[in-house]
Amino acid sequence: MDSFIRSIINAPRAKKRVITLCIDSLFIAAAFWLALIVRLDSLEPLSVTSNWLLLILLIPISLYTFISLGLYRAVLRYMNSQAVWAIILGTIITTVSLVLLAFFVGIDIPRTMPFIFAWLCLLTVGGSRIIVRALIGRMTTSNKDAVIIYGAGSSGRQLATALNAGPEYFVSAFIDDDVTKHGSIIQGIPVRAFNDIHELIKKRKATKVLLAMPSETRARRKEVLAQLEPLTIKVLSIPGMADIVEGKAKLSEFRDVEIEDLLGRDPVTPKDDLMTANITDKVVMVTGAGGSIGSELCRQIVKLKPTKLVLFERSEIALYSIEKELGEYISNNTLNIELIPIMGSVQRVNRLETVMRTFGVQTIYHAAAYKHVPLVEHNVVEGVRNNVFGTYYAAKAAVEAKVDTFVLISTDKAVRPTNVMGATKRMAELVLQGLAQEQGAKHQTRFCMVRFGNVLGSSGSVVPLFRRQIKEGGPITLTHPDITRYFMTIPEAAQLVIQAGAMGKGGDVFVLDMGDSVKISDLATKMVRLSGLEIKTDDTPHGDIEIKCTGLRPGEKLYEELLIGDNVEQTPHERIMTAHEVMLPLSELNVFIDALDIACHNFEHEKIRQLLLDAPTGFNPTDGICDLVWNARLENESKDNTKSVNNVVNLQS
């Protein structure tokens, strides 16, 4: 039987229409005779020739009516209200035609017979389609995975329609917080309360929960995810309506739960006056333009319509990628912005100054830096050269080129640093603070720095690592079970940097409000459970993903801070604060800079470390010198000394 129905379903469209016309003819004939038999309570009408003549005239008229109303163009499995109205209207016209034909042909029929005929016609023609649709639906859903949609709003309903029409999923239920919807049926799908989700997962064998709440705040989505997390069922979300409208995504495209939703932090609408102050109709330069922060800064800057945007980057492929992306955006939006891709290193002061003078740069966002803690710990000299001297040279070039504003992208690791990376970034802050003291007397460049924590999706971020490890079946690697970090999205960080830069008066240290710190082990656990998997522990030895702690890496802190002291003030922006930190006069700072330059040139790692300790950086290293070249050289010297000792001849023996 199943195979017979499937053969009809898979038959050509023309063949299915012919079959439907024949079946409807039988239904109309059956309704006609049943109406007469029921009304007269006798089989005698079957023997009356005039009744047969009336039926022969009625069937073509009825079929023509249904064809004209488009009933046979409707696909049964997608039958909607339009098809229902076609059946109702067609039945009414057929019934009226029956009465008129009987009158003009002179055939007597009972007065109530047309009403009985109409009801029977609706039952047979309409009911058969409902039954067939249900059968097809059951057959098609048997090979689909059951899913639950969280949210019975417009997005959820559209998603349900798209899924039920597709080959992969069928919607077994809606979950909604609106109590007025509980117990109702929308598009043939029951709406249930969240308390019923355990039953739905168990009885209906749902494999996924789809979040259809793109317009909800992140705080609300965080609450929902906190409810879903203990269920150990895969949770996916649909794209935001803005992405769907702009053609960046489709409603039926599912995404893993965004980490932004787990953090529950909603972005603040940027202030237009602060966003445009240093950018609109100005020449802007971004160093490290191809990096995670630098590239997002460039994306935000082009939207604010500078006259020129100088992309300064040492990596050829990174520069190529960001120039191509921005070029397409400028072209597609017909913007009058000149893109200037410049290859170069921030460690070459004459290159920097020449570029700034040539293009008349007015605003600089200095994002060029080495930021990966263990790598800088293993390559101390390059870390110092790039982070300290790169900032120093860029700032000196800005002064000489008469740049108006210079904004340094700093980090929370500059606060009481335990690693070389953090110490070098704090040293870079001291450089700008020292130069800012001469503002007005010797130059007009306004220096400020913006300090914030980790950004989601940046290079080396823990989130993409966890996703990959979960996909590969684990284990997830943590450095320490108690480690915590601050997180922020890259677009929000870039917008706040631009706004903070506009508020700077000179030497300001701006600190971004990062919200609450996040325990990384909790983040890993949530990501695993919302992927529909279970954590493997001693209590749950049959779990899917194990979390392993590998120990803190060189220079790594258990937690990060954003402020050195408590001397902090609020700015006009609710998520930007300003801190008053210790600084050095430029004359004293230059002594450190000169000594650090010589130490780097001679690869004197002990001297480098001592200088970083002596400067007011707050450097408190947790490890010894971890530079790979330094340690390898010491090891080689130790081996050479051992060999020399072994080669000595003992003359007294």
What residues have CB less than 8 Å from 361, skipping those under 6 apart? 283, 284, 285, 310, 355, 398, 401, 403
Q: What is the mean pLDDT of the chain?
A: 82
Alpha helices in 540-627 (DSSP H): 586-601, 605-614
- Once rounded to an integer, what is the mean pLDDT over residues 25-31? 86
| Positive or negative torsion for Cα 438, 440, 445, 450 | positive
Instruction: Decide: 144 and 170 in contact? Cβ < 8 Å.
Output: yes
For 126-217, strand residue ranges (E) read 145-150, 169-175, 185-186, 189-192, 208-211
Alpha-carbon gap, residue 1 to 121, rounded angstroms: 26
Instruction: Give helix 81-105 / helix 113-121 axis angle, nearest 10°.
Output: 150
- The token pair at 637 is 């010297």
Which range, of 85-89, 130-134, 300-304, averages the lowest pLDDT? 130-134
The three-point CA angle 469-472-477 to 5° equals 25
List, for residues 138-186, the tens digit of each pLDDT value: 655 556 778 888 888 878 888 887 777 766 777 888 888 888 888 888 8
Among 118, 194, 112, CA closest to 151: 194
- Peptide bond connecting 214 to the previous residue in cis, omega within 30 degrees of 0: no
List, for residues 561-617, the tens digit of each pLDDT value: 655 555 677 888 878 888 777 888 888 999 999 999 999 999 999 999 999 999 988
Alpha-carbon gap, residue 504 to 521, rounded angstroms: 37
Q: Is residue 287 scored above 90 in pLDDT?
A: yes
Alpha-carbon gap, residue 255 to 237, rounded angstroms: 5
Query: Which residues are the active-site residues?
Result: 413
Alpha-carbon gap, residue 570 to 580, rounded angstroms: 12
* H or E element in which residue 214 lies: none
> What pLDDT is stored for residue 530 in this prediction?
77
Range from 103-107, 193-197, 338-342 that averages highest in pLDDT: 338-342
List, for residues 12-22, the tens digit of each pLDDT value: 666 777 778 88
> What pLDDT is stored for residue 13 in this prediction?
62
What residues have CB less than 8 Å from 521, skipping those under 6 apart? 478, 481, 482, 483, 547
> What pLDDT is stored for residue 651 in this prediction?
47
Alpha-carbon gap, residue 519 to 558, rounded angstroms: 10
Residue for token pair 């057929």: 94
Which range, of 68-77, 272-281, 587-596, averages the lowest pLDDT? 68-77
List, for residues 468-525, the tens digit of each pLDDT value: 888 888 788 888 888 887 777 788 888 888 998 888 888 888 888 776 777 888 888 8
The band of 653, judged by pLDDT with boundaries at 50, 70 and 90, is very low
Alpha-carbon gap, residue 229 to 227, rounded angstroms: 6
Specify the DSSP class assigned to residue 299: H
> What pLDDT is stored for residue 429 in this prediction?
93
Which range, of 17-21, 165-169, 391-395, 403-407, averages the lowest pLDDT? 165-169
Instruction: Decide: 375 and 628 in contact? Cβ < 8 Å.
Output: no
Instruction: Decide: 434 and 485 in contact? Cβ < 8 Å.
Output: no
> What pLDDT is stored for residue 1 in this prediction?
46
Residue for token pair 């789809």: 210
The band of 225, judged by pLDDT with boundaries at 50, 70 and 90, is confident
- Once rounded to an integer, what is the mean pLDDT over residues 344-350? 95
Share of the chain above pLDDT 90, in %: 28
Alpha-carbon gap, residue 588 to 594, rounded angstroms: 10
> What pLDDT is stored for residue 3 in this prediction?
57
In order of 28, 206, 418, 530, 546, the CA distances from 525 in angstroms are 63, 22, 27, 9, 10
Q: Is residue 51 scored above 70 in pLDDT?
A: yes
> What pLDDT is stored for residue 378 in this prediction?
93
DSSP letters of 234-298? EEEEPPPHHHHHTTS--TT--EEPPHHHHHT-PPPPPPHHHHHTTTTTSEEEEETTTSHHHHHHH
- The token pair at 105 is 């042909």
Q: Is residue 448 scored above 70 in pLDDT?
A: yes
> What pLDDT is stored for residue 167 in this prediction?
67
Higher-pLDDT residue of 561 and 398 is: 398
Q: Is residue 536 scored above 70 in pLDDT?
A: yes
Q: Is residue 233 scored above 90 in pLDDT?
A: no
| Positive or negative torsion for Cα 70, 76, 80, 85 | positive
- Once rounded to an integer, what is the mean pLDDT over residues 87-103? 86
* H or E element in which residue 490 lies: helix 490-503
Q: Is residue 650 scored above 60 in pLDDT?
A: no
Which range, of 79-83, 129-133, 417-421, 603-607, averages the lowest pLDDT? 79-83
Q: Is residue 414 scored above 70 in pLDDT?
A: yes
- Once rounded to an integer, what is the mean pLDDT over residues 608-633? 90
